[in-house]
Structure 1
Amino acid sequence: MPPSSSPAEVPEAETLIPSLPDDVALNILARVPRSHHPSLCQVSKAFRSLISSTDFFTTRRLLGSTDPSLYLTIRTNASPSFLSFTLQNRPRRRLVPIRPIPSSCIGSAYAVLGPELYVLGGSHNDVTSSRVWILDCRFNTWRLGPSMRIAREFAAAGVIDNKLYVMGGCIADTWARAANWAEALDPRTGTWTAVASPAEVREKWMHASAVVDGKLYAMADRGGFAYDPWKEEWVPAESELDNGWRGRACVVDGILYCYDYLGKIRGFDWGEGAWKVLKGVEKGLPRFLCGATMANMGGNLVVVWEGKEVIGNRKEMEVWCAEIEVRKDWDGELVGEILWSEAVLTVPFRSTVVQCVAVAL
């Protein structure tokens, strides 16, 4: 739904809640879980106008009443464009399509900043791009953002203190690429600025990244590293972390989760500097030998994977999703409880989950 400027556009005769000032009604309605918003939209035109306004989402954020929403990007052989979906929980869990990204690129980096999802760079027909697309998840609308200073593919990206950092994804074979190998976007000004980086870091090619404790960690082909924007310092990643990080990962309560070469979910405990297998989920999840995509959804670990082929008239495949409550037990072991696990979408066979992220709305 297109955004309106504010609830003030509601006609006076159409008050939100009779006998209550609209600002009080806004404060009440902003606390309603997002899964009930479709029902609220059917109450009245005033409710529908409110829920499609920026003031409504701003109030939810200020009240701390946001709900995590899961967004997925899927690549299929049946479509030249990547498909975009969001997870709907009511009346049943399923992925519902939203407007796809206007220009699909392979190897884009993804980052979440507030209610918006940034898709950075990538390549199309072997041409690397510096373009940035932004999905406003409040209204599921795309717009072009400020382009990066240089083109990138398979870069590392993350948000720290409301600034978006991106690094790598290019060969530093020119002055411009060396000087801007890492850069940061200030969303308030829409300006990218170069981040100084040492020559030995610019030789690396990233395959995964995550933000932990105010640092952007990037795993590279020849040893990972971490960047601390407060100290403007680059340091090598812990060797144990470097050796065990495989594939796309996410951070929940300071633990970095990914899957190992046996297809089991493991978490890296920074306090002990060791990898630990996530226990309690062995019977409810498959072994992710072909990989899985993970996200932190409101403090729970969400895992998305490509399921088995569906037998029918057409070759299709199920996309599965599971939400896991994770914690440390008294012995310091990582324990998970599967809250739910089910197929949420059917797509053409051999489709690929490109990325999944959670956005607070």
Structure 2
Amino acid sequence: MVRTHSFKQFFATALSLAVAGLPISSVRAEQVNITLAGADCGNLVFWRNIPQMPTASLSAVGGSINGKIYAAGGLDANANPLSLTQVYQPLKNKWSSAASMPDVRYGGAAATLGDKFYVAGGWTRSPPLPNNNLWAYDPKTNAWETRSSISHLSACGAAGVINGKLYLTTPCAGSGPYQPLLDVYDPVTDQWTRLADSAKAHSDAAVGVIDGKLYVAGGFDGAVINVTERYDPDTNAWTTLAPMPIAVNLATSIAQNGLLYVFGGSGAGATNKTVQIYNPDKNSWKVCSLSRYTLPIQTRGVAGVAYGFIFAAGGGKDTSLQPASTGFSVLPLPSLP
């Protein structure tokens, strides 16, 4: 049994074990003051606070490139839109700043495409309508570049990358009702193409790409919904799947190891402190009951994966527009549900 005495030492030990192909569970979690969540979440599941984000943010967009976690834009503690880009480096266990976006932005969608981080659409509050911008951040040059605009306004959506193309849902396309729009962006031609509409509009939904298909779960279409849908680019068609056990929107989500993880979220006027995991092979959901501790991030956070760990940052602990927690946490991946 491996013993560790600090998170930095724990992470270094766990990482070295993972690289060597040994189980992370051989690390003594209790030696670093880690709270276990229970057997229903896998062999070793915990949240562990590490350095806070320099600037608290809500409704930012995030992702990971080359072992670093990026969080761009969002709303600050006074509900002002941000343009800053914050970067977490797990191996150094610290945050740094990167070049700011061309303008303030929150509530957009983001994904890593190749070696660049793309941000699509979102709000600025002035004017009080979504935008149709597409920006790409290049970590090699620490610079943002403007790419072709979306053919319509877009916010509250979700993005995923399949076969080198960026797929974007658009529930908020202006001042009208929620929309079930889907578009695809080709970075080679720098062009957008409209695709088949989903069955439901999924505002602020959970999203992930698994085995070349786009999964969208939950969200809001006038009410919080538990609908799960899958888009297949080969057929340009959507399929409705097993519903989420708990209907949520504004959750933090990520796909990893063939599963879709949905952290927290909001539903029926209250926040949710669970992790919901979808297994596409079984078309089934599992709820990780985290009653033994408080989920650090319940709404509007960002997530990324580095070195086999899921990282989640920012967000808040209630349904208000206040970022209630700037803490950053790490979750080793649960076993299959």
TM-score normalised by the chain length of structure 1 = 0.59
Q: In the TM superposition, what whole-angstrom CA distance separates every residue of 1:217-254 from its partner, at most 9, and x where no partner exists?
A: 22343534221101211111322467477612111201
Match of 2:113 in 1: 113
1:184 CA displacement: 1.0
Distance 1:252 1:80 in 2: 30
> In the alignment, does 2:174 pair up with 1:167?
no
Q: 1:252 maps to which residue?
A: 256
Q: Deviations over 1:297-341 (max 9, x none)?
A: 243211224699xxxxxxx9873223332242xxx55xxxxxxxx
> CA separation of 1:165/1:322 partners in 2, compared to 1, >3 Å: closer, same or farther?
same
Residue 118 of structure 1 deviates from its aligned partner by 0.9
CA distance 1:236–1:170, change in 2 (3 Å): same
Residue 211 of structure 2 aligns with which residue?
213
Distance 1:262 1:242, change over 3 A: closer
Question: Contact conserved, 2:245 with 2:287, CA < 8 A, in 1?
Answer: no
Q: 1:106/1:237 Cα in 2 relative to 1: closer, same or farther (>3 Å)?
A: same
Q: Distance in 1 between matches of 2:289 and 2:158?
A: 26
Aligned residues of 1:304 and 1:321 also touching (Cα < 8 A)? yes
Structure 1 residues 116 and 242, CA gap change in structure 2 (3 angstroms):
farther
Which one of 231, 237, 244 corresponds to residue 227 of structure 1?
231
Structure-1 separation of matches of 2:130 and 2:272 = 34
What is the root-mean-square deviation of aligned Cα atoms in Å? 3.5
Partner residue of 1:347? Answer: none
Contact 2:132 / 2:153 at 8 angstroms: preserved in 1? Answer: yes
CA spacing shift, 1:68–1:89, aligned 2, 3 Å: closer
> Corresponding residue for 2:156?
154
C-alpha contact (below 8 Å) 1:306/1:320 kept by paired residues? no
Aligned-partner Cα distance in 1 for 2:190–2:210:
25
- Counterpart Cα distance in 1 of 2:243 and 2:313: 28
Q: 1:293 to 1:106 in 2, by over 3 A?
A: closer
- Kindly indicate whether residue 276 of structure 2 is the aligned counterpart of residue 269 of structure 1: no
Higher relative contact order (CA 8 A, sep 6+): 2
Q: Distance in 2 between matches of 1:172 and 1:245?
A: 19
Q: What residue ranges of structure 2 are gaps of 5+ in the alignment?
A: 1-64, 265-270, 318-322
Alignment of 1:112-191 (within 5 A): 112-124=112-124, 125=126, 126-170=128-172, 181-191=181-191
| TM-score, scaled relative to structure 2 | 0.63
Superposition pairs of residues 44-83 of structure 1, within 5 angstroms:
67-73=66-72, 74-77=74-77, 81-83=82-84
Within-5 A mapping of 1:230-309: 230-240=234-244, 243=247, 247-260=251-264, 262-272=272-282, 273-277=284-288, 286-288=294-296, 290-291=298-299, 292-305=301-314
Contact 1:259 1:265 in 2 (8 A): yes
In 2: Cα distance, 1:306 partner to 1:246 partner: 9
Cα deviation, 1:40-91, whole Å, max 9, x if unaligned, reads xxxxxxxxxxxxxxxxxxxxxxxxxx8421111353257653321111346x
Cross-structure match for 1:44: none
More helix by share: 1
1:86 maps to a residue whose letter is: V
Alpha-carbon spacing, 1:234–1:318, altered in 2? closer, same or farther (3 Å): closer
CA distance in 2, matches of 1:278, 1:136: 39
CA distance in 2 between partners of 1:72 and 1:173 (Å): 27
User: Aligned-pair distance for 1:148?
Assistant: 0.8
- Give me the identity figure in percent: 21
Identify the residue that residue 320 of structure 1 maps to in structure 2.
327
Give the counterpart letter for 2:71 in structure 1.
L
Query: In structure 1, what is the Cα distance between the partners aligned to 2:90 and 2:295?
Result: 25
Contact 1:217 1:227 (C-alpha < 8 Å) held by counterparts: yes
Max Rg structure: 1
Q: Residues 307 and 190 of structure 1: is their aligned pair in 2 closer, same or farther, counting only changes over 3 Å?
A: closer
Aligned length: 248
Deviation string for 1:238-284 (max 9, x for gaps)? 224674776121112012222345513342233441314278xx87x
Q: 1:246 to 1:191 in 2, by over 3 A?
A: closer
More strand by share: 1
The answer to whether the 8 Å contact 2:87/2:96 transfers is: yes
